[in-house]
Copies of this chain bind each other. A is one copy, B any other.
């Protein structure tokens, strides 16, 4: 094992303690629930509460995006495990300012069940909570509503956070998040597993020199496993799934995210980005704004994912809207 931890069963609590100390300018743990990271500004008067969350191990997702004009709270589960229904509910209590709250998370069965229970508990107290589940992983199902959420989370959360910050009501914020999700497609490649801190072992087996195209961020099976190819070939294959899926067509404008799954150097990500940009240029698809780095990881997994979001004027404005959080700031 090559992880810097103490007791493997304390990793989430110790991470949260360190995180809230390091970024105390932005966030704190909710006094009633140590698994809810709350913005120091929340509840923000006149603003819909934006609540994101899911299992740990994907940092900076989710807690890194709590702050000004982005998420008001993140609900924290154990590694690759949904947060509890109580924590989902407590996040509502922590951030609701009377305009209701929006839950945003990747579409996984455990998260769906527990966030839904949190919303029911809030409803019993008369607080309206709506939900948008991110379903950007093109190879996880043919049915869009069954797809998993991966790095596209970042775009959907950013858009919803900005819409809420602009004073929109819950229906409007939900509609913006739904549009962002409908316009977003992702796919990844893994070159290694990740190390589970509790076992000290990989969460699945993968030979050095292999790659798995389409693997999910918890190690869910992809479309095929093969010997590692050159970066340009890998990018071509991934783009050949993403582009026809929406489809993205000539004349479209897109935001691009080339995301590290954890241990892929920025050097390699930019080599991949170069090919993404070449393919989009060839197809007459214009890049409006790009993001390259670790946005949604699987701890120390080697690999990367590509996300495209088709933009209109509203989505451009929301993507560009200033925000300030521990792991993402626009001036």
Chain A contacts to B: CB under 8 angstroms: 1-6, 11, 14-19, 21-23, 25, 56-57, 59-60, 64, 68, 189, 191-192, 197, 208-209, 228, 230-232, 234, 256, 258, 262-274, 277, 287, 289-294, 297, 299-300, 302, 304, 322-324, 327, 329-331
Contact = CB atoms under 8 A, between A and B. Distances in A.
Contacts of A23: 290, 292
Given A1-B209, A22-B290, A228-B2, A59 B265 contact: yes
B300 A302 contact: yes
A213 to B, nearest CB: 12
B271 A230 contact: no
Copies of this polypeptide in the complex: 2
Given A14-B271, A59-B265, A274-B17, A6 B292 contact: no
Contact of A6 (B197, B271, B287): B271
Given A18-B272, A22-B290, A331-B330, A297 B11 contact: no
A4 B271 contact: yes
Q: Which of A264, A265, A273, A287 gathers the greatest number of chain B CB atoms within 10 Å? A: A265
A331 B267 CA distance: 26
